[in-house]
Structures are given as structure tokens and as C-alpha cells.
Amino acid sequence: MSSTNTTGAPSRVEDVHRPRAGITAMIPCYNEIACIERAYREIQCELVAYDDVELLFIDDGSTDGTLDAIKGFAAEDPLVKYISFARNFGLEAAFSAGFKYASKPWTVQFDADLQSPPQEMHRLVDKALEGYDVVFAVRENRQDPWYRRLGTRGHQTIARRWLGIELPQGASVFRIVRTSVARKVVDSRLSTPYFIATAPLLGARYTTLLTSHRPRVGGRGKWNMRKLVSHAVELFVGFSFRPLAWMSALAAAVVAAGAAILSLALAGRFGPTELAAASLVTALVTLILLTVVARYLVRMMRVQAIGVPHYQIREANIPVRADEALYGYETPYVIAEVWEGVR
Ligand code: UDP
Ligand code: MG
């Protein structure tokens, strides 16, 4: 399956920026000691097909020895770069850092658990070479629990059909992205780094590609119900104002119903029980309304917090921005532009 965005596939391949060979393999990982060695070997094996490559591990505050394993790879392999966060900041923060510090023109994002087989990267690369900025893998026979599959389908459908948000249906985080465009996406002044919705919003040329999927090769998934719900809500309020319009309509309906009930009560046709029931319904609707408004307030606060990094780096074997490094301001009064420390 393959679909294109509203701007359509470029008509002539030579019209678009042809990708160079350089590829950063980016691997965000959080407590992946059960898979990390195998992930490194399998990804490294596929990268042999390209001339100019690097492996960029983003350790998202692991506490199980994942970072030590990565340092072991780096000690033997100069192509291995890593950044390690001061704590767990979440997958979005991890891939945002990955896109910012990737040094090659194309970045392929992998999962450390190898659910999307690295061998599929070549098909993503070939597709990107046809003239796209982003190619998202869509998992064929997705090997995740039913509630995950249903959750993704449900919230993406609500986003697309009801809220008018443009996004590639079924897109996973296994993807190839033109690195310059990826940086633009993660740098955009939005409240949330929701990649699959931001890339279309900025006008990136994107498409999807069906790729195989398998169960984790080890360890456990990191998503729970709370994270899944908050991720969906971030998409809804981050990219659409329709929920606010619905709330206004709901408020208008409640006011009209309230007026009718009040007139009936004054005319003696409604007793105290009916009035109490009507008050309860009004209170519940008000609560729902407040919750939705609160989500938008949170969104506004996040936008105002632009400039506050979404993560802090404790260790790295590449230079990183001083303001993104926990120990980046070691020099008094002089704020170094780049922090080169490896701890
Ligand atoms: N991950 C991360 N930070 C987190 C959670 C996950 O960097 O807080 C990484 C994880 O190590 C893996 C990728 O994101 O490489 C996908 O995570 P997971 O397999 O749990 O997600 P799923 O496949 O269930 O969607
Ligand atoms: Mg997984």
C-alpha cells in the first residue's frame, strides 16, 4: 500500500532534491538490555550497503545497563555515536534529539526491540529516492496486543475524520526522513513534537509503505494505558480546535434545555426531582467542558515554554548544545555554545 499527501507525488524525480548516500541509523532506547546487542548487530549488517553511515543511539535514561552496552559498541566501532538523557524523557524527546544531532542527510528511525525488521530499511530508502521527504512504514499484521492496534486505529480515525487532522493512517515510528525536514519538524513552535501530524502540516512530501512486523525480540513494551490516552489527547488538542467548537455547541444546547426546564418548572409541570436531575446533568456537562478547556490551557503553556528543552543530556560522545546538556554550563558567566563533555 502506498498513499501520497495532498501535494501529491512529485511529477519528475529529477525535479526534487535527490538524496545523497549518507544515512544516520537512529535508535531511541529505554531499558532495552534484552535487545540492544542484537539490534546493533542487525542494523550494522544492513548499513554495510551504504557508503556514508553512522549509528546514533539515544539512551532515554535507561537504568538496566543499556548505556553500558552502547558504550561498549562505541569503544569498538567509530561509527557508533550516542547521547544519554539525564532521566527518562519519553520517546518523542528521544527521537527529537536524534533528529537534531543526526549528521547525515537521511535518518532512518529504528526500534531497539526490532519489531520492524531492519532489513526493511532498503525499501524505505528506495521509496524516499523516488522524491519524498518522509516515508512512514505501516505495519503489516502488526504484532502488538489487540488494544494497541484498536487504540491506534481509533485515535487516528477520530483525528482524521472528526478533527480534520492530516496524518498518514497507520504510520509507525519506523521511517526514513530527510534530516533537514526532520529538524524542522522537531523545531517547529508547536505544543507537542507529534511527528506524524507535524510533517504534513509543514508541507513535507510523504508517503507510506507496508512493511513486515514481528513480536519484540526481548524485553517489554513501554506503553501503558495512561501514556496511550495522553498521547491521543495531545494529538487532538495540539492539532485541532474543533473540540472547542463542539464544547460551545454543547454549552448552547444545555442553556436552551435549561431555559425550557425552568419554564416548565415555573409552570408547575416539573417537580424537585426533575429539577435536581437537570442540575446534575448541567454540572456534569460543565465538568466535561472545563476538562477540555484545561487541555487547551496546558497546550498554551507548553507553547510558551518554547526554548525550554524537552530533555537534558547527561553524557554523549558527540558535541551537543550547552543548553541541552545537564552539565553544559560549567564555565561561570560564559555560556558555552557547545558542550563536548563525555562523562
Ligand atoms: N522508547 C524510548 N523511550 C521511552 C519509551 C520507549 O526511547 O520512554 C523506545 C524503546 O526503547 C524502543 C522504541 O522507543 O526502541 C519503541 O518502544 P516500544 O517498543 O515500547 O513501543 P511499541 O513498539 O510498543 O509501540
Ligand atoms: Mg516495540
Query: Relative to the CA of 58, which ligand 1 atom is closest?
Result: 7
- Does ligand 1 come within 6 angstroms of the Cβ of 90? yes
For a mutational test of ligand 1's pocket, the pick from 37, 55, 113, i.e. the residue with the most ligand atoms closer than 8 A to its C-beta, is: 113
Cα of 26 to ligand 2 centre, how many Å?
15
Positive/negative CA dihedral, 115, 105, 4, 10: negative
Angstrom CA distances, 84 to 65, 123, 331, stand at 12, 30, 21
pTM of the model: 0.88
pLDDT digit string, tens, across residues 241-278: 999 999 999 999 999 998 998 898 889 888 888 889 98
Cα of 173 to ligand 2 centre, how many Å?
10
Nearest residue CA, atom 8 of ligand 1? 90
Provide the mean pLDDT of the chain: 90
If we measure between CA atoms, which residue out of 42, 82, 213 comes closest to residue 139? 213
Give the residue extent of every domain in the chain: 13-223, 241-304, 313-342
Residues sharing a CB contact under 8 Å with residue 272, sequence separation 6 or more, in sequence order: none
Cα of 90 to ligand 1 centre, how many Å?
8
**CATH no. for 13-223:** 3.90.550.10
Instruction: Write out the residues surrounding ion ligand 2, Cβ under 5 A.
Output: 111, 113, 115
pLDDT digit string, tens, across residues 15-65: 444 445 799 999 999 999 999 999 999 999 999 999 899 999 999 999 999
Decide: 62 and 30 in contact? Cβ < 8 Å. yes
Long-range contacts of 156-159 (CB under 8 A, 24+ apart): 158/232, 158/236, 159/197, 159/235, 159/236, 159/239, 159/240
- Does ligand 1 come within 6 angstroms of the Cβ of 109? no
What cell numbers appear for 152 in the block? Answer: 491506534
In sequence order, the β-bridge partners of residue 233 are none
